[in-house]
Structure 1
Amino acid sequence: MIMIKAVIIDDEPAMQQVNSQLLSEYFPAIKLAGIADCIEEGAKLILKESPDLVLLDIELKDGTGFQLLHKLKPYDFKVVFITGFHSFAIKAIKFSALDYIVKPVNETEFQQAIQRAVELIEKKENSDAQLNVLMTSLQNENKSKKLVLRTAESLHVVDVADIYYCKSDNSYTTFYFRDNEKILVSKSLKDYENLLSDYGFYRAHQSYLVNLNHIKKVDKSDGGFIIMKNKKEVPVSMRQMKKLISLLSQL
């Protein structure tokens, strides 16, 4: 493993200690270059040390971790967020395909999040696109939404409105777009159902999540199926048909 430099930005001394101990125990090759407890000191620390990895608390005593990030473009480090609350901020982080750890810190989740960050640092993957999507999500909660899809080879930044439907394949999900373009990611459909439910997506079938805005026709014959605007057919389960018709009538 290459030498990786990390900093911790958290305003709770107990959390500072937990995170530094876990880093030392599970990732001895990561050098902890410093700890800060607020936006101003955190920004100074990052600019001084140029870390590869930032463990960043969302709630700081003088603001938020997001406000700190605003001061630091472009981003030449990986961020793992630490948060003690579930909110729209978590959703924004998920849209950006960034990692986060929920307090109280679970050791296994900590290891997994840091290990993923280490692998991306070793690949020299840039975080700019993801953090820009995050910032836009936070500023424009109700405007056009972008979603980061991570494949084995690359990061795709897509407009949520351009997704026609998603298909489940066990722990994988395939996203379908216009002209049969598709992207396969290693996350479950359930993850995306929760994320996209506020943006016109409906679980029409156990294996399909559809964008209601791209439905051309619903055919009730043969058990029922949807014809999308890209001419693809998507099955509808019997028990979802009535709700689907109701949702479409409200568009």
Structure 2
Amino acid sequence: MIKAVVIDDEPAMQEVNRRLLKEYFPEVKLAGIGNSVESGIELIKKEKPHLVLLDVELNESTGFHILQQLKPYSFKVVFITGYDTYALKAIKFSALDYILKPVNEVEFQQAIQHAIDEINQGENQQLQTGVLFETLQNENQGKKLVLKTMDSLHIVDACDIFYCRSDNSYTTFHLANDEKIMVSRSIREYEELLSGHGFFRPHQSFLVNLNHVKRIDKSDGGFIIMKNKKEIPVSLRQKKRLIQLIENL
């Protein structure tokens, strides 16, 4: 039996989490609900849960303060947050599980099932949480990105990524040291995540770090020549925008 707690300051969200856990995850026992940083810390210390459903925005504070005061911790966290928050982007950079408000039942099931699988496999998320806190503290500086493969967690500096290549629902990262890392997430997700950090998608199959572009070859429709001599195709639709971005670097 997996023991869980919910920490959320909205009664309606508390009830949603309670109902969905009961309906879809009978193997999960809800041991209690907290509604603040203080009550959340007390609840976790008392119940020692395997799983914590943690609201990011808690009254005048955040759920991150709970994690900071309980380090190192042995439970798995699934964050609950709204759209378009900086915290959500930091969570994505860290490859941590989250549920968006308003809650979609399918997405809720996917996030909780993934968390349960990792609990059963004995996986620890300390490294990912370390990246999360670093991202939150250094909003305008270079970012670290957690890439999860079947057997490893890779912590990569965004500045070391030359380009990404899409293969259906998989994305392969090509790094500065010629290392390649393939993850089972779409390139569109990484385009959204890295768009504010010097990355551009010149072609449906590629996402490039503009800081590693050596030159643009305008012949034969257009190619990007990377500093590692790799050639990246440029779609006709993106060619003008690419040139404008390069000129403004």
TM-score using structure 1 length: 0.95
Equivalents in 2 of 1:88, 1:29: separation in Å? 33
Find the partner of 2:146 among 136, 145, 148. 148
Conserved in 2, the CA contact under 8 Å of 1:169 and 1:207?
A: yes
Aligned amino acid, residue 28 of structure 2: I
Deviation at 1:64, TM superposition (A): 0.8
**2:24: which partner in 1?**
26
Equivalents in 1 of 2:73, 2:141: separation in Å? 24
Q: Quick check: 84-93 or 30-39, which moved more? A: 84-93
Q: What do you get for the CA RMSD once the two structures are aligned?
A: 1.3
**1:213: which partner in 2?**
211
Deviations 1:194-250 (A, max 9, x none): 110000000111111000001112111222111111121111112222221221111
**1:78: which partner in 2?**
76
Q: Structure 1 residues 183, 47: closer, same or farther in 2, change over 3 A?
A: same
**1:181: which partner in 2?**
179
Matched, 1:93 2:94: no
Equivalents in 1 of 2:82, 2:125: separation in Å? 23
Equivalents in 1 of 2:238, 2:13: separation in Å? 45
Deviation at 1:85, TM superposition (A): 4.3
| Count of aligned pairs | 249
TM-score using structure 2 length: 0.96
**1:36: which partner in 2?**
34
Deviations 1:102-144 (A, max 9, x none): 2222211111110000011111111001111111111110012
Residue identity (%): 66
Equivalents in 2 of 1:86, 1:239: separation in Å? 27
Conserved in 2, the CA contact under 8 Å of 1:133 and 1:146?
A: yes
Equivalents in 2 of 1:161, 1:53: separation in Å? 34
Equivalents in 1 of 2:15, 2:192: separation in Å? 33
* Unaligned runs of at least 5 residues, structure 2: none
Find the partner of 1:169 among 159, 167, 171. 167
Q: Quick check: 83-92 or 209-218, which moved more? A: 83-92
Moved over 6 A (4+): none
**1:248: which partner in 2?**
246
* Unaligned runs of at least 5 residues, structure 1: none
Find the partner of 2:225 among 224, 227, 236. 227
Equivalents in 1 of 2:232, 2:121: separation in Å? 38
Q: Per the alignment, in what secondary structure is the counterpart of residue 129 of structure 1?
A: helix
Equivalents in 2 of 1:12, 1:206: separation in Å? 41
**2:14: which partner in 1?**
16
Conserved in 2, the CA contact under 8 Å of 1:214 and 1:229?
A: yes
Q: Quick check: 153-162 or 66-75, which moved more? A: 66-75
Conserved in 1, the CA contact under 8 Å of 2:82 and 2:88?
A: no
Q: Per the alignment, in what secondary structure is the counterpart of residue 180 of structure 1?
A: coil
